Amino acid sequence: MSKRMQDKVTIITGGASGIGEGMVRRFCAEGARVLLADVDTAAGEAVAAATGAHFVALDVSDPASWDALAERVRADYGRLDALLNNAGIVSGLDIEQVDLAAWDRLLSVNLTGVMLGCKMAIALMRDNARGSGGAIINTASTTSFLAIPDVAYTTSKAAVVGLTKSVAVHCATQGLNIRVNSLHPGATLTNILRTALAANPEIEPNLQRMSPMGRLGTVEEVAAMALFLASDEASFCTGGQYVVDGGTVVEHPRM
Ligand SMILES: NC(=O)c1ccc[n+]([C@@H]2O[C@H](COP(=O)([O-])OP(=O)(O)OC[C@H]3O[C@@H](n4cnc5c(N)ncnc54)[C@H](O)[C@@H]3O)[C@@H](O)[C@H]2O)c1
């Protein structure tokens, strides 16, 4: 590895599993000092032990949880270089099934959690020694552009685009040198999906066909985009939507 994140203090939420775990592995390999922040303590500690990351318990929907993390980062690291707002949940509920509690729960994680993370990160990044600066990457989805029946999920991922653009414009116009971008994976082969496929192999062809490239993405491919956006190579990239989907969102429906 090229150590593109050498010594950069990086928080990765939802790093205990799936895409976030792939991000933790790649950022650690690239020399970052990674804080793996997740509600799943057992899985998070296991990934941290395997990668050299530091596990911190964090519920992204809880402002007090972010305050505690900010205090720890200030005390233990004295700076923050990158935040990957990656934690996310699905509800599986369409507009006829969803109730207010399920709607609020999902939005509190997938949308409010991202907003709280941005606030916390900017407060720390403003105070970085040698000047304000950093990168925030918000994991959205191709569902930001193409709807699925899960109404709260679709809404949350579309809203993350607007949130990201607003925060990016604020940071740029304030001269903070904090870049903020959204990352849009298509269907990605995670361990959870592997388990689902093993139980229901008949759904695999449909998943493969979602992309004109005829396959699912890998967590490594998504992590590579996050790495670019967090690195100094992306120095003129802010407010953008970075799709990693094998062409899913650009294909005209097939004949
Ligand atoms: N896997 C895909 O195909 C795919 C496609 C597009 C977008 N995404 C997005 O990528 C992100 C990661 O998805 P994944 O497939 O790796 O999911 P995953 O379920 O494997 O991992 C999600 C992680 O987030 C953690 N988490 C859940 N709620 C949390 C909370 N309140 N606070 C802190 N951590 C919390 C979980 O414990 C878990 O470790 C999500 O935002 C998801 O919407 C996934």
Distance of CA 139 from the midpoint of ligand 1 (Å):
9
> In this structure, what DSSP letter does residue 215 have?
S
What is the CATH classification number for the domain harbouring 180? 3.40.50.720
Would residue 240 count as lying in a domain? yes
Q: For atom 31 of ligand 1, which residue has the closest CA?
A: 59
Within-domain flag for 252: no
CB–CB of 220/185 below 8 Å?
no
Which of 185, 182, 188 has the alpha carbon at shortest distance from 159?
Answer: 182
Residue 220 lies in a domain: yes
Q: Which H/E stretch holds residue 183?
A: strand 178-185
Q: What is the pTM of this model?
A: 0.97
Active site amino acids: 153
CA distance 128 to 57: 24
What is the token pair recorded at 124? Answer: 């720390």
Measured distance CA(150)–CA(171) in Å, rounded = 32
Measured in Å, residue 87 CA sits from the centre of ligand 1 at 4
The first and second tokens of residue 177, run together, are 């040198």
- 245 near 184, Cβ under 8 Å? yes
**Mind spelling out the 3-state secondary structure of 45-101?**
HHHHHHHCCEEEECCCCCHHHHHHHHHHHHHHCCCCCEEEECCCCCCCCCCCCCCHH
How far apart, in whole angstroms, are the C-alpha atoms of residue 115 and residue 134? 16
Look up the domain containing 202 and give its range. 9-244
Protein residue with least CA distance to atom 15, ligand 1: 18
- Centre of ligand 1 to C-alpha 128, Å, is 29
Q: Which atom of ligand 1 is nearest to the CA of 61?
A: 31
Q: Do the domain assignments include residue 1?
A: no
Question: Which of 11, 13, 24, 38 to probe ligand 1 with, by most ligand atoms within 8 A of CB?
Answer: 38
Specify if 253 maps to a domain.
Answer: no
In a domain, 119, yes or no: yes
Distance 190 CA to ligand 1 centre (A): 10
pLDDT of residue 173: 98
Helices vs strands, H then E, count in the chain: 9, 9
Atom of ligand 1 nearest to the CA of 15: 39
pLDDT in tens, the chain (255 residues): 689 999 999 999 999 999 999 999 999 999 999 999 999 999 999 999 999 999 999 999 999 999 999 999 999 999 999 999 999 999 999 999 999 999 999 999 999 999 999 999 999 999 999 999 999 999 999 999 999 999 999 999 999 999 999 999 999 999 999 999 999 999 999 988 888 888 889 998 988 999 999 999 999 999 999 999 999 999 999 999 999 999 999 998 776
What's the total number of domains in the chain?
A: 1
User: Smallest Cα–Cα separation from 177: which of 242, 243, 82, 113?
Assistant: 82
Task: For residue 178, tell me if it sits in a domain.
Answer: yes
Check residue 115 and give its pLDDT: 99
For residues 165 and 160, give the distance between their C-alpha atoms in angstroms, rounded to a whole number.
9
Cα 177 to middle of ligand 1, angstroms: 28
Half-sphere exposure of 83 (CA within 13 A, CB side): 30
**Any domain includes 218:** yes
Ligand 1, CB cutoff 6 Å, lining residues: 13-14, 16-20, 38-40, 58-61, 86-89, 109, 139, 141, 185, 187-188, 190, 192
